[in-house]
Structure 1
């Protein structure tokens, strides 16, 4: 009887253990402003960070202060070489020369795009027929130290493609 009670207690204890899925937000790099060379966001609620390599850097940031009042180009991709799944995100802004919010609704100034080879959809906020909203917020713009950092969120949608919701985005790059 004593063994049966111990076995029952052990089984009862094990049945109460559930492995929790990790919080997607905890899988992103922290939002820093130190030139930490980080990028991450939630893509439709799932953690998304640069991964893999196709021969070029999977995370690049370029800034040119002499063109169009300052041009920022952030290009990031993730690739699974085993399955050849490839996704890239590009954030672009012109007339960017200080901290502040830059809205994706002004596509002449700021744009976002995402390409997903797996589902065959390319969404660009500058394309006609693509619903877009969101913003890029530059939280540190320090050309002397060579650091640019910020946050972003956006929604892109068009007929025939799944709606893309990017939230809690953050980047911090040493130029």
Structure 2
């Protein structure tokens, strides 16, 4: 019986861990809601895990800029999060010109709409316009209200670069006052 005690304790521990995981909210439920009120929110799933801005390196960890007068409407959305002692930083973002109205805009290799992810921990930097980087995805502007000063939308994209793991950004949402 004493010889089997470590086995029984291990099985008990494993069943308790799996129970905790069943009770945890799904990753998508850990994201901020997809609002259109200028709530100042940003979130997505990064390779299936909830990702929201976190930490501060002296600059805002989430920014949105939109200029309707430059290049037919220039948009930039970016967020970062710091981990550990702040040395590990991940950044997710996208930008475009020619954004004048609500609608869906697709990322293309040589197009106006660009996506990017940086990960200091792995030293991988994925920019959709760089040679050798695969990018497929979109962003959708769901509200562009200049009189109220609100821009909101959703996004999803996949990036791959030789020598780095594939990055999948899904269920993305942002909502910001301009």
> Shared topology, TM-score over 0.5?
yes
Which residue number in structure 2 is paired with residue 7 of structure 1?
A: none
Deviations, residues 23-66 of structure 1 (Å, cap 9, x unaligned): 10111000010100000000000000000000000001011111
Which consecutive aligned stretches of 4+ in structure 1 deviate over 2 angstroms post-superposition?
A: none
For 1:141, what is the secondary structure of its paired residue? strand
Cα offset, 1:106, TM superposition: 5.8
Q: Which of 124, 129, 137 is equivalent to 1:121?
A: 124
Number of matched pairs: 162
User: Is the Cα contact below 8 Å between 2:109 and 2:129 reproduced in 1?
Assistant: no
Q: CA RMSD in A?
A: 1.7
Which residue number in structure 2 is paired with residue 41 of structure 1?
A: 44
Q: Which moved more, 1:20-29 or 1:79-88?
A: 79-88
Which residue number in structure 2 is paired with residue 4 of structure 1?
A: none
Q: Which moved more, 1:111-120 or 1:78-87?
A: 78-87
1:18 aligns with 2:36: no
Where do residues 1-175 of structure 1 align in structure 2 (5 Å cutoff)?
18-19=19-20, 20=22, 21-82=24-85, 84-105=87-108, 107-175=110-178
Structure number with greater Rg is 1
Alignment partners' CA distance in 2, 1:80 and 1:45: 18
Structure 2 unaligned spans of 5+: 1-14
Cα offset, 1:150, TM superposition: 0.3
Structure 1 unaligned spans of 5+: 1-14
TM-score normalised by L of structure 2 = 0.86
